[in-house]
Amino acid sequence: MNIESIIQTVAIYAIPVIFAITLHEAAHGYAAKSFGDKTAFLLGRVTLNPIKHIDPMGTILVPLLLYFATAGTFLFGYAKPVPVRFGNLRHPKKDMVWVALAGPASNLFQALIWGVAYLLLIKLGVSERFFMEMCQAGILVNVVMFVFNLFPLPPLDGGRILVGVLPWKQASLVSRVEPWGFYIVLALLLTNVIGNLWMRPLMSATYWLLDTVLIPIRLIF
């Protein structure tokens, strides 16, 4: 691989990825605090400091190894999960849904902001490729995080949302999957099951939603 191309790619994606991960985890912590659990707040995890959310293995080592091993065709990573004691929430089962949803919601909002920034650059006549590609990367990274984290399997946010909305009996059955959930998700990723059946259709729907919301901005610009 071309080392210059790698450096350029890292430079373009660095800021969008850092913001996507940081705000995602901070949103979980803030939502938990709002619903009665101050665990993340007391541990300093309700913060925009990216260092607090970086997992050395999942945020740095795993993505780099996969990037080089697959020549950039497959990338996967994760941040340090924000600790939430669901028993501390005022209404644990119901509030868990909002705490879990806060992370993906922050990514959807960021994708929208990057989209507005992209249109603003066009309006201002900025043709610098680096900034245009950074905005596009910001949209892509956050759409991927939004859709992926909504996959309905614990410990992903979508799994916790599913546990929160299901009746107690069914919720208990789904929650038992969590100890093996990471390995199941990884296997589904490697076999492209999630990519074909979940990521692609939902990413297309999310891009459509963003395009629709951005129509008034386009008309103004």
Residue 56 makes CB contacts below 8 A (sequence gap 6+) with none
Q: Tell me how far apart the alpha carbons of residues 130 and 127 are, in angstroms, rounded to a whole number.
A: 9
User: CA triplet 160, 184, 57: central angle to 5 degrees?
Assistant: 85
**4 belongs to the catalytic site:** no
Q: DSSP 3-state assignment of 214?
A: coil
Angstrom CA distances, 169 to 88, 175, 192, 211, stand at: 21, 10, 31, 40
With CA atoms as reference, report the closest residue to 77 among 135, 28, 29, 20. 20
CB 119 within 8 A of CB 139: no
Residue corresponding to tokens 């190894």: 65
Catalytic residue among 4, 25, 128, 178: 25
Residue 61 phi, psi (nearest 5)? -65, -50
Token readout for 15 is 């800021």
Roughly what angle, to the nearest 10 degrees, separates helices 129-149 and 92-123?
160
Token readout for 216 is 């008034």
Active site residues: 25
